[in-house]
Amino acid sequence: MNLDELIAIDIHTHAEEPCDSPRDDGYDEFQAGMAKYFRNPAGVKGMLPTVRDTAAYYRERRIACVIFPVDAERETGFRRYENEEVARIAAENADVMIPFASIDPAKGKAGAREARRLVREFGVRGFKFHPTMQGFYPNDRSAYVLYEAIAEEGAIALFHTGQTGVGSGMPGGMGMRLKYSNPLYLDDVAVDIPEMPIILAHPSFPWQEEALSVATHKPNVYIDMSGWSPKYFPKILIQYANSLLKHKMLFGSDWPAITPDRWLADFEKIDIKDEVRPLILKENARKLLRL
């Protein structure tokens, strides 16, 4: 990876389609709902990009990306795409891809063993958690055996926070409970495992100030700005990005729900200081990922 040639590092992209296996039954309705929520045709059957498609897209734009699946089998019934598959394809495209993985914390010690193996054998750099999709409070002590393995292996933990487009408009929200994704629960995790870098993903509506408070107070907590077009960012998020948290804010798109093209175009139009833009787009992620 030639960092000097890259214009940005996208810290938040999804491996939504398997490359070497068929799409899971029942996934079409879910993705159609996501497409409607984000006003993005990518959720239509057959249109979601594979990991290899994603690599080609990012290479063309000279952007690196952190990519991961989401292990929510227990709560949603959707088969997860193999962490190993995503990591192998990322390794084939190491000029633009950085592999993260996802493990349901309910897998306990087995999940901790998997995390260690993925870091050691597949070069995985971090782990994605989605408390709402996975149905758990991030500060549940049962998850700590997995967090401790991640911390000991020197990896990063990235957590969805705030409202989600997953299940939006579907009956019962597809069973998704928003309460699990309040970023304040991650304050406990940051206290108990201070050596593990934690990324709070997305503007954390309706808990934006809670997220800013945790990131300001805890040295190991960062915020990625994915999942929203920057034109909808709350003023207080922009204020903190320009000041107290300018070294802890990270560019993320939420690909394929939101494309980097759309995100970056809107980012140009918001009131971010010139000296802060390169920090958000690349330098903060470069330091956090130890690239």
Rounded Cα–Cα distance for residues 95 and 6 (Å): 10
Give CATH for domain 3-288.
3.20.20.140
Angle between the 83-92 and 108-122 helix axes, to the nearest 10 degrees?
A: 10
Every domain of the chain and the residues it spans: 3-288
User: Which of 32-41, 93-102, 116-125, 224-233 comes out lowest in average pLDDT?
Assistant: 32-41
How far is the CA of 170 from the CAs of 24, 34, 36, in angstroms? 19, 10, 11
C-alpha angle 105-203-125 in degrees, rounded to nearest 5: 45
Residue 196 has pLDDT above 60, yes or no: yes
Q: Which residues contact 170 (CB under 8 A, 6 or more apart)?
A: 29, 30, 33
C-alpha closest to that of 290 among 128, 60, 66, 15: 66
Rounded Cα–Cα distance for residues 269 and 254 (Å): 19
Number of alpha carbons in the 13 Å side-chain half-sphere of residue 176 = 22
pTM over 0.85: yes
Give the per-residue pLDDT at 49. 86
Helix (H) and strand (E) counts in the chain: 13, 8
Mean pLDDT of the chain: 91
Residue 249 has pLDDT above 70, yes or no: yes
User: Which of 35-44, 67-76, 132-141, 231-240 comes out lowest in average pLDDT?
Assistant: 35-44
User: Which of 6-15, 47-56, 190-199, 268-277 comes out lowest in average pLDDT?
Assistant: 47-56
User: Which of 157-171, 211-225, 229-243 comes out lowest in average pLDDT?
Assistant: 157-171
In the chain the beta strands, taken as DSSP E runs, fall at 8-14, 63-68, 97-101, 126-129, 156-160, 198-201, 221-224, 249-250
**Both tokens of residue 131?**
């408390």
Side chain identity at residue 46, one-letter code:
G
Q: Which residues contact 171 (CB under 8 A, 6 or more apart)?
A: none
DSSP string for residues in 23-83: PPTTHHHHHHHHHHHHT-GGGSTT-S-BHHHHHHHHHHHTEEEEEE----HHHH-PPPPPH
Q: Render pLDDT for 13-69 as a digit per residue (tens, 0 to 9).
A: 999 755 555 555 555 666 666 566 656 655 555 567 889 999 999 999 999 999 999
- DSSP annotation of 202 reads S
Rounded Cα–Cα distance for residues 183 and 223 (Å): 10
